[in-house]
């Protein structure tokens, strides 16, 4: 708008004062020309102001900025997070010479296994990474936690409430402002401490950074950013098949009836902002079938060609409620089939990064900057649609394409950050590695029950190919960080292993007399059929068992103290010996008591027991959702075939460093303290992590390195 | 080349006059502001459509987004002077690209817009004479033969009475008469120059009328700015005939103040720009 106003003003002056005003050639070309001149003017003016104020800013920072007690050892530290990169598999591939760039990084610096957290799952692990504390201090223990009043699962890291300001006039209701979003992760990210010392931070897609917190630098949020419907990623499938043939877990299925060559339906978006009883806002769309492979999609103001099996680019969709309110999202369409049945897949509707409906980055213009720079991109916390593949809506190739597209978008952001941040901290997490290993492990594990008899040639080595792609990314990153005053770390939050058998903990608890469930309601999600007056312990989420404590839950029956302690000991001793009847092997490596393994003010929010499954096992799909089936053990035949919700010793992550790693053992929660230490900042005493000893392959560096604190470039 | 361009322009002016007389006729009875608004809005929308189809829309969007990104980068990454200077350089590059991209639509629109402005100037640059009002008419002679002075007479007519003149300004090779309007309507002044009849149109009336200030010389700029009457040939003894009509003095028409030579043009520019800006979303045009 400001650009337009300036353009108009300049043009008016030109027109008013010049006899050659007839040279004006209309608003379109006029805008373009005036806008160009304004852009040049803005660039020159801002350069002038910047150069003029630079010494002043430098002086102010020098006089009033907080000073680190020691000199920084590096000008820039770059951390490349590859979610789920497994230490064992990486070691094997390194030995086979398949990861040349990581091998080079190992040889010039160091490579170690990186201890994950308990449990070794992304929200917990990345929270410890960023805060340097154990879960008892950062309050994240799982993806989900049960509500203490209703027992219903809720997200552990974020709470999203409707807007607080509402104007009501009779039946009419108008909300003001955005939703009330609260981050439930406690403690403080180490980049917040760096910010205090004037060190610039660029934090891209690190899980559990939503809603974004203030920092000196820029940040793009990741895990837990919802889609426009408020879910963690709900795809939509339009089908002309009878609905009962297409039961879906992770998506909405909409029945359509083709009329000749036309299919007309609606795309559901966010709930109505002021009258939720009206259901979601919807946009009509129409698909006109051309032939077996082509169709034309018309939605809103967009018209796109659909080609069988190919994703469209991101399409902006606007959901309107009333004349003035509209919410903008982006999604991709994929024509799955034209005949004999019509099938259309739509990705979860991501928050439009160019017009975000809620703050997904800091400052709020950073996501907009990225969208202007590189075009629309996935903003959803879990961007890759694993449910689409799990529900057999997407094929392996289509899922892989989605993952690779997301990685490409991430790479553009990351390399832009490397250009824009010559000093300070730059962290970027690629989580496609986690999603792809979850979904393609069945091709890697020859004994996996979901492994098909015939594996497509392109996927036989899907996991190896993925590691090689990441190796290539590391190579390009190394090239950008080649300066001796840069430190590059490549790390993962946990490793991976096979998920062959699922354990229904609730069934085990029932069989052992700790839980009572209404037999007719076993298949209902979210602990629906449980009789709380007869239940002493229950499981929900990926690794936790909760005691039904009187002091914690609204219908609790277990007294805290000795009774609880006895109960925990009893469950641990019985459950640890659980044998898989199929193989006669132990399914659980160890069970941890939260009170003993966590410390900090939030340890009472943890599940009472954390189950460390052995290799090949995990909580069953049903138990994770709060169901109670009739069997303790379940064969996992889903595409989601690899996992890491096991004992941390089974799935260590990796740590590569461009400088020698002198510490014998490194843990994920040591990274934050290490970065602080490398920037010359004292590690706060509340942090549980310790600064790792990082050597110097080129001799003492401290003499050469500048003190980054206080620098304005 | 020049003669060809002039011939072509004359031809285009004839077409523009025919179309303009018809399409702009409502300006004769609409209130001044309403007429100016309607014209600004309609032409703004038409030019927006023309811009949409003559420009590379996706390239404009891409370049504009790039410029916006770098403008945002200036505030996001201001800690580093080198990064900021890089962003500023990319803004300049983007601006240059935008100008280059705009050359095609400019090329496509320059002729129709110039013709349109010529037609609008007939309505809005000057007002017609009122009955009893004096006006000076100046006949400029060609400078082909500076030594000779042709025999020039202005024939009297009941609608326009000669009150003074002729006066000869030898240094500028011009002759002037002062006339007084006697009757409403469009009239013709009939000159005889060395026996050859020469005409100039005059507009008298109290309403809005098309007013041709000048019968132009054989000059491209002159012909573009005064399209209503045919130009004098290069070989003619007469170069041009100009009448000093009273200029319009409102902010939508003519000359509002000494600072603003073309207030009507400013009004039309702002009006058409606002209209284009308002309709760019509806018409899905990247500017």
- Nearest by CB to residue B114, choosing from A22, A33, A42, is A22
Q: For A61, name the nearest residue in chain B, comparing CA atoms only.
A: B79
Query: Residue B47 above 90 pLDDT?
Result: no
Phi-psi category of residue B173: left, alpha or beta, with phi > 0 → left and psi -120 to 50 → alpha: left
- Cβ contact A405:A334 at 8 Å: no
Cβ pair A36:B79 closer than 8 A: no
Whether B188 contacts chain A with CB within 8 A = no
- Nearest by CB to residue B51, choosing from A18, A26, A375, is A26
- Cβ contact A270:A319 at 8 Å: yes
Domains of chain B: which residue ranges? 31-125+259-279, 134-243
- A301 to chain B: which residues are within 8 Å by CB? 284
How many whole angstroms from its chain centre is CA A343? 28
- B76 to chain A: which residues are within 8 Å by CB? 218, 363, 365-366, 369, 420
Q: Name the minimum distance, in Å, from the CA of B63 to any CA of chain A.
A: 10
Sequence-distant (6+) residues with CB within 8 A of A259 are none
B105: nearest Cα among B47, B51, B62: B51
Per-residue confidence (pLDDT) for residue A121, from 0 to 100:
95
Q: Residue A478, Cβ neighbours under 10 Å: how many?
A: 21
Give the best residue of A9, A32, A316, A362 to mutate against chain B (max B CB count within 10 A). Answer: A32
Whether B42 contacts chain A with CB within 8 A = no
- A365 to chain B: which residues are within 8 Å by CB? 72, 75-76
Q: Residue A328, Cβ neighbours under 10 Å: how many?
A: 19
Cβ pair B84:A50 closer than 8 A: yes
Cβ pair B102:A423 closer than 8 A: no
Cβ pair A420:B80 closer than 8 A: yes
Cβ pair A200:B98 closer than 8 A: no
Q: Find the helix or strand (DSSP H, E) in which A176 lies.
A: strand A172-176
* Tokens matching residue A340: 């004999």
In angstroms, what CA-CA distances link A337 with A342, A343, A396, A598? 5, 5, 16, 51
A467: nearest Cα among A83, A49, A85, A16: A85
- Nearest by CB to residue B81, choosing from A37, A54, A371, is A54
- Nearest by CB to residue B117, choosing from A22, A43, A47, is A22
- Cβ contact A323:A333 at 8 Å: no
- A56 to chain B: which residues are within 8 Å by CB? none
Q: Name the minimum distance, in Å, from the CA of B68 to any CA of chain A.
A: 7
Cβ pair B287:A31 closer than 8 A: yes
Cβ pair A21:B287 closer than 8 A: no
**pLDDT per 10-residue tile (average), chain A, 713 residues:** 47 44 54 68 76 81 81 96 98 98 96 97 97 97 93 89 72 70 94 96 96 96 92 93 67 92 95 81 95 92 94 95 83 94 96 94 97 96 92 94 97 97 97 96 95 91 96 97 94 97 96 95 89 95 95 96 96 95 95 96 96 96 91 95 97 97 95 97 97 79 41 34
ipTM: 0.86
Per-residue confidence (pLDDT) for residue A30, from 0 to 100:
67
Q: Name the minimum distance, in Å, from the CA of A49 to any CA of chain B.
A: 11
How many whole angstroms from its chain centre is CA A13? 51
Q: Please, which residues 94-153 of chain B have a Cβ atom closer than 8 Å to chain A?
A: 94-96, 98-99, 101-102, 105-106, 109-110, 113-114, 117-118
A474: nearest Cα among A497, A491, A462: A491
Cβ pair B51:A27 closer than 8 A: yes
Whether B284 contacts chain A with CB within 8 A = yes
Whether B65 contacts chain A with CB within 8 A = yes
CA distance A597 to A69: 33
Q: For B262, name the nearest residue in chain A, comparing CA atoms only.
A: A16
- A5 to chain B: which residues are within 8 Å by CB? none
pLDDT tens digit string along B58-108? Answer: 999 999 999 999 999 998 998 888 999 999 999 989 988 988 888 888 888
- Cβ contact A417:A280 at 8 Å: no
pLDDT tens digit string along B237-286? Answer: 899 999 988 876 666 565 555 555 567 888 888 888 888 888 888 888 88
How many whole angstroms from its chain centre is CA A267? 25
Whether B56 contacts chain A with CB within 8 A = no
Q: Residue B166, Cβ neighbours under 10 Å: how many?
A: 14
Cβ pair B88:A369 closer than 8 A: no
Give the best residue of B42, B56, B79 to mutate against chain A (max A CB count within 10 A). Answer: B79
Per-residue confidence (pLDDT) for residue A18, from 0 to 100:
41
Cβ pair B106:A12 closer than 8 A: no
Whether B269 contacts chain A with CB within 8 A = yes
Q: Name the minimum distance, in Å, from the CA of A408 to any CA of chain B.
A: 19
Q: Domains of chain A, with CATH numbers?
A: 2-15+31-64 (no CATH), 71-139+187-224+381-496+651-706 (3.40.720.10), 228-367 (no CATH), 500-649 (no CATH)
Sign of the dihedral through C-alpha A509, A513, A516, A520: positive
Per-residue confidence (pLDDT) for residue A20, from 0 to 100:
42
Q: For B257, name the nearest residue in chain A, comparing CA atoms only.
A: A16
Per-residue confidence (pLDDT) for residue A291, from 0 to 100:
85
DSSP state of A233: -
CA distance A482 to A498: 36
Whether B93 contacts chain A with CB within 8 A = no
Cβ pair B81:A44 closer than 8 A: no
CB neighbour class for B235 (10 Å; exposed up to 12, middle 13-18, buried from 19): exposed
Q: Name the minimum distance, in Å, from the CA of A46 to any CA of chain B.
A: 8
Cβ pair B260:A16 closer than 8 A: yes
pLDDT tens digit string along B114-128? Answer: 888 889 888 888 888
- Burial letters A78-110, b for 16+ CB under 10 A, else e: bbbbbbbbbbebbeebbeeebbebbbbbbeebb
- B111 to chain A: which residues are within 8 Å by CB? none
CB pairs under 8 A between A and B: 187
CA distance A77 to A661: 15
Angle between helices A396-420 and A366-374 (to 10 degrees): 110
CA distance A649 to A646: 8
- B59 to chain A: which residues are within 8 Å by CB? none
Per-position DSSP letters for A613-660, written without gaps between them: EPTEEEE-HHHHTT---S-SEEE--SS--EE--S-GGGS-EEEEESS-
- B77 to chain A: which residues are within 8 Å by CB? 200, 218, 420-421
Whether B162 contacts chain A with CB within 8 A = no
Helices (H) and strands (E) in chain A, counts: 17, 36
A325-331 and A333-337 beta bridge pairing: unpaired
Cβ pair A47:B273 closer than 8 A: no
In angstroms, what CA-CA distances link B241 with A88, A624, B154? 95, 94, 12
Per-residue confidence (pLDDT) for residue B255, from 0 to 100:
57
């Amino acid at each position: 708008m400001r650009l337009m106003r300036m353009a108009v003003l300049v043009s008016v002056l030109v027109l008013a004062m010049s006899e050659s005003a007839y040279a004006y050639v209309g608003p379109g070309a006029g805008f373009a020309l005036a806008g160009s001149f304004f852009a040049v003017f803005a660039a020159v003016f801002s350069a002038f102001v910047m150069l003029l104020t630079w010494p002043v800013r430098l002086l102010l920072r020098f006089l009033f900025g907080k000073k680190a007690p020691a000199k920084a050892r590096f000008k820039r530290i770059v951390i490349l997070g590859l979610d789920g990169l497994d230490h064992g598999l990486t070691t094997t591939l390194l030995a086979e010479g398949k990861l040349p760039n990581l091998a080079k990084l190992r040889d010039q610096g160091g490579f170690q296994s990186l201890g994950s957290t308990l449990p070794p799952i992304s929200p917990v692990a990345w929270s410890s990474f960023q805060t340097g504390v154990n879960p008892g201090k950062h309050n994240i223990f799982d993806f989900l936690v049960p509500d203490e009043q209703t027992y219903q699962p809720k997200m552990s890291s974020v709470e999203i409430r409707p807007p607080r300001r509402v104007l009501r006039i009779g039946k009419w209701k108008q909300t003001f402002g955005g939703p009330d979003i609260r981050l439930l992760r406690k403690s403080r990210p180490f980049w917040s401490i760096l910010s205090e010392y004037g060190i610039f931070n660029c934090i891209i897609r690190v899980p559990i950074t939503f809603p974004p917190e203030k920092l000196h630098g820029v940040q793009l949020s990741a895990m837990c950013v919802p889609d426009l419907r408020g879910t963690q990623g709900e795809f939509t499938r339009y089908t002309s098949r009878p609905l009962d043939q297409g039961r879906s877990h992770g998506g909405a299925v909409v029945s359509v009836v083709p009329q000749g060559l036309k299919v007309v339906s609606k795309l559901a978006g966010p709930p109505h902002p002021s009258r939720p009883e009206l259901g979601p806002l919807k946009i009509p769309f129409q698909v006109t079938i051309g032939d077996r492979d082509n169709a034309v999609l018309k939605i809103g103001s967009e018209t796109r060609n659909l080609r069988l099996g190919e994703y469209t680019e991101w399409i902006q969709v606007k959901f309107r409620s009333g004349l003035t309110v509209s919410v903008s999202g982006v999604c991709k369409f994929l024509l799955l089939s034209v005949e004999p049945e019509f099938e259309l897949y739509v990705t979860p509707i991501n928050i439009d990064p160019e017009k975000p409906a809620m703050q997904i980055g800091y400052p709020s213009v950073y996501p907009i900057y990225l969208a202007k720079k590189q075009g629309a991109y996935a903003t959803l916390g879990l961007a890759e649609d694993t449910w689409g593949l799990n529900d057999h809506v997407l094929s392996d190739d289509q899922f892989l394409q989605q993952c690779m597209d997301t990685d490409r978008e991430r790479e553009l952001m990351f390399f832009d950050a490397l250009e824009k941040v010559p000093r300070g901290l730059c962290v970027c997490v690629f989580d496609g590695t986690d999603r792809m290993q979850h979904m393609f492990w069945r091709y890697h594990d020859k004994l996996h029950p979901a492994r098909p008899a015939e594996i497509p040639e392109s996927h036989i080595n899907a996991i190896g190919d993925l590691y090689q792609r990441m190796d290539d990314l590391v190579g390009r990153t190394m090239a950008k960080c080649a300066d001796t005053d840069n430190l590059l770390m490549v790390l993962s939050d946990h490793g991976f292993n096979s998920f062959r058998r699922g354990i229904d903990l609730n069934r085990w608890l029932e069989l052992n007399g700790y839980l009572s469930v209404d037999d007719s309601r076993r298949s209902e999600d979210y602990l629906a059929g449980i009789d709380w007056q007869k239940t002493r312990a229950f499981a929900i989420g990926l690794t936790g068992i909760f005691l039904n404590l009187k002091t914690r839950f609204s219908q609790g029956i277990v007294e805290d103290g000795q009774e609880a302690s006895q109960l925990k000991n009893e469950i641990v001793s019985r459950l640890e010996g659980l044998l898989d009847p199929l193989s006669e092997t132990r399914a659980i490596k160890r069970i941890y008591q939260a009170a003993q393994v966590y410390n900090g003010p939030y340890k009472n929010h943890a599940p009472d027991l954390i189950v460390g499954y052995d290799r090949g096992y995990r909580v069953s799909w049903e138990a994770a959702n709060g169901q109670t089936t009739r069997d303790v053990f379940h064969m996992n035949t889903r595409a989601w075939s690899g996992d890491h919700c096991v004992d941390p010793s089974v799935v260590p992550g990796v740590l590569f460093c461009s400088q020698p790693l002198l510490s014998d053992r490194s843990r994920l929660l040591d990274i934050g303290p290490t970065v602080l230490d490398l920037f010359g900042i004292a590690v706060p005493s509340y942090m549980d992590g310790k600064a790792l000893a990082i050597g110097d392959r080129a001799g003492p560096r401290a003499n050469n390195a500048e003190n980054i604190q206080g620098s304005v470039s | 080349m020049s003669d060809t361009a002039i011939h072509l322009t004359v031809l285009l002016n004839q077409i523009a006059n025919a179309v303009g007389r018809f399409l702009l006729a409502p300006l004769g009875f609409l209130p001044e502001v309403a007429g100016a608004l309607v014209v600004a809005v309609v032409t703004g929308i038409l030019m927006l459509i023309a811009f949409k189809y003559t420009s590379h829309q996706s390239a404009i969007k891409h370049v504009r987004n790039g410029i916006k990104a770098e403008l945002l980068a200036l505030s996001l990454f201001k800690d580093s002077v080198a990064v900021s200077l890089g962003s500023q350089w990319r803004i300049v590059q983007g601006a240059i690209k935008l100008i280059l991209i705009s050359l095609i639509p400019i090329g496509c629109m320059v002729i129709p817009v110039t013709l349109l402005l010529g037609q609008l100037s007939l309505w809005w640059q000057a007002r017609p004479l009122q009955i009893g009002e004096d006006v000076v008419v100046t006949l400029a002679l060609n400078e082909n033969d500076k030594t000779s002075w042709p025999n020039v007479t202005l024939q009297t007519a009941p609608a326009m009475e000669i009150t003074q003149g002729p006066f000869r300004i030898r240094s500028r090779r011009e002759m002037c008469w002062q006339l007084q309007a006697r009757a409403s309507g469009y009239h013709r002044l009939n000159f005889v120059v060395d026996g050859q009849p020469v005409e100039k149109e005059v507009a008298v009336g109290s309403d809005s009328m098309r007013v041709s200030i000048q019968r132009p010389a054989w000059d491209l700029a002159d012909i573009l700015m005064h399209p209503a009457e045919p130009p004098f040939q290069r070989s003619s003894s007469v170069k041009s005939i100009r009448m000093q009509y009273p200029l319009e003095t409102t902010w939508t028409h003519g000359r509002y103040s000494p600072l603003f030579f073309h207030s009507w043009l400013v009004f039309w520019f702002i009006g058409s720009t606002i209209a284009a800006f308002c309709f760019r979303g509806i018409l899905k045009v990247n500017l």
